[in-house]
C-alpha cells in the first residue's frame, strides 16, 4: 500500500524543507504518512553534485521521518507546464493518492518554483481523467496547499505553529550540506549558502511565529475555497 496522507512537491531537492519542513515534521509526529517528490535533481545549482544532493535529500527526509522521497528527474531550470511534464506529476499523484498536496506558490522569484505551481495544479486536475492512461488508477487530490521556499511574496492564508518542530526543520536543512552556510564545504559562494541566508531561515519562522504569538511558524497559501475540515489533520 503506497497511499499517503500528505504529498509535498518541491522543484529542487531542498525546497520542501525550506518552506514547510516544520509542518511536515508536525504531520509525521501526528502519525500521518508523509512523502516528498522532488521534480528535479537540482543539477543546475551552483554547489553540490547530483549524487551529493541525492544523499543529502535522503538524509533530510529521514530526519523529518517521511516514508518516501522520489525524484521525477525533470530538467532543472526547465520546469514547464507541458503535457509530458504533467504526465510525470500525474504518475506520482496516482501512485500515492494523497489526501493533501503541497506545491510551490506562484510568483516566486525562481521561475522553476513559479512554473511548478501551475504544473502541479493542472496535473492534479488531469490526474482525475480516466482517458489519461497510466499504470495507476485515476485520482484527483481534493486539497491543494501552497508554500514559498525562500520568502513570502504574498500575504499567507494560514500560519501554522511549528515551535516544537523548528529544530527538526533546521536539522533537516543542515543535512543539505552542500547547499547552505557551511564553512567546511568548499564550493561557489552563493546567496543561499551565505550566513545571512541561513540566519534568515530562523528570522522568517520567528517573524511568522510572532504574528500568532508563538516562537516559530510556517505559512500556507490556498488559491480556491477549501474544505476547512481537510486541514484538521495538519494542525
Ligand atoms: Zn528551489
For residue 29, the CA-to-ligand 1 centroid distance in Å is: 25
Q: Distance (Å, rounded) from C-alpha 125 to C-alpha 123?
A: 5
For residue 110, the CA-to-ligand 1 centroid distance in Å is: 7
What's the pLDDT band for 167 if we cut at 50, 70, 90?
Answer: very high
Kindly provide the b/e burial profile for residues 49-77, where b requires at least 16 CB atoms within 10 angstroms of the residue's own CB.
ebebbbbbbeebbebbebbbbbbbebebe
For residue 138, the CA-to-ligand 1 centroid distance in Å is: 28
Q: Distance (Å, rounded) from C-alpha 115 to C-alpha 200?
A: 25
Q: What is the DSSP string of the chain?
A: ----SEEEEESSTTHHHHHHHHHHHHHHHTT--EEEEEEE--TTSSS--HHHHHHHHHHHHHHHT-SEEEEEEEPTT-----HHHHHHHHHHHHHH--SEEEEEPTT-SSHHHHHHHHHHHHHHHHTT-TTS--SS-----SEEEEE-SS--SS--SEEEE-GGGHHHHHHHHHT-TTTS--TTS-----STTSHHHHHHHHHHHHHHHHHTTSS-EEEEB-SS---GGGGGGG-
Q: What is the pLDDT of residue 27?
A: 98
**Residue whose cell numbers read 504529498:** 7
For residue 163, the CA-to-ligand 1 centroid distance in Å is: 24
Phi, psi of 188 (to 5 degrees): -60, 140
The region that residue 213 occupies, defined by phi over 0 for left and psi between -120 and 50 for alpha, beta otherwise, is left
| pTM of structure | 0.97
For residue 64, the CA-to-ligand 1 centroid distance in Å is: 18
| Cα–Cα separations (whole angstroms), residue 37 to 9, 25, 113 | 5, 16, 14
Average model confidence (pLDDT) across the chain: 96
Q: What is the pLDDT of residue 1?
A: 56
- Residue 56 exposure: Cα atoms within 13 Å on the Cβ side: 24
| Cell, residue 116 | 511548478
Q: Point out which residues pair with 71 in neighbouring strands.
A: 38
Q: Of 187 and 91, which is predicted with more confidence?
A: 91
pLDDT in tens, 190-216: 999 999 999 999 999 999 999 999 999
What's the pLDDT band for 184 if we cut at 50, 70, 90?
Answer: very high
Q: What is the pLDDT of residue 2?
A: 83
What's the pLDDT band for 235 if we cut at 50, 70, 90?
Answer: confident
pLDDT in tens, 2-19: 899 999 999 999 999 999
Q: Distance (Å, rounded) from C-alpha 197 to C-alpha 180?
A: 8
Q: What is the pLDDT of residue 168?
A: 98
Q: Of 67 and 186, which is predicted with more confidence?
A: 67
Q: Distance (Å, rounded) from C-alpha 17 to C-alpha 196?
A: 18
User: How far does CA 29 lie from the centroid of its chain?
Assistant: 18
pLDDT average, residue stretch 67-80: 98
For residue 11, the CA-to-ligand 1 centroid distance in Å is: 5
pLDDT average, residue stretch 80-103: 98
pLDDT in tens, 111-150: 999 999 999 999 999 999 999 999 999 999 999 999 999 9
Amino acid at each position: 500500500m503506497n497511499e499517503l496522507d500528505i504529498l509535498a512537491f518541491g522543484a529542487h531537492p531542498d525546497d520542501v524543507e525550506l518552506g514547510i519542513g516544520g509542518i511536515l515534521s508536525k504531520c509525521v509526529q501526528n502519525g500521518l504518512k508523509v512523502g516528498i517528490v522532488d521534480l528535479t535533481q537540482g543539477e543546475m545549482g551552483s554547489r553540490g553534485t547530483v549524487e551529493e544532493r541525492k544523499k543529502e535529500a535522503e538524509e533530510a527526509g529521514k530526519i523529518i521521518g517521511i516514508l518516501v522521497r522520489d525524484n521525477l528527474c525533470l530538467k532543472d531550470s526547465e520546469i514547464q507546464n507541458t503535457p509530458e511534464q504533467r504526465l510525470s506529476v500525474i504518475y506520482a499523484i496516482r501512485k500515492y493518492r494523497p489526501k493533501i498536496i503541497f506545491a510551490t506558490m506562484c510568483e516566486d522569484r525562481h521561475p522553476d518554483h513559479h512554473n511548478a505551481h501551475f504544473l502541479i495544479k493542472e496535473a492534479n486536475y488531469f490526474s482525475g481523467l480516466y482517458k489519461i492512461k497510466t499504470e495507476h488508477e485515476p485520482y484527483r487530490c481534493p486539497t491543494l496547499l501552497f508554500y514559498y521556499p525562500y520568502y513570502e511574496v504574498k500575504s499567507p492564508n494560514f500560519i501554522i505553529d511549528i515551535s516544537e518542530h523548528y529544530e527538526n526543520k533546521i536539522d533537516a536543512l543542515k543535512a543539505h550540506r552542500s547547499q547552505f552556510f557551511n564553512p567546511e564545504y568548499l564550493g561557489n559562494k552563493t546567496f543561499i549558502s551565505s550566513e545571512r541566508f541561513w540566519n534568515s531561515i530562523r528570522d522568517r519562522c520567528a517573524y511568522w511565529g510572532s504574528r500568532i504569538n508563538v516562537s516559530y511558524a510556517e505559512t500556507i497559501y490556498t488559491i480556491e475555497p477549501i474544505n476547512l475540515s481537510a486541514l484538521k489533520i495538519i494542525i
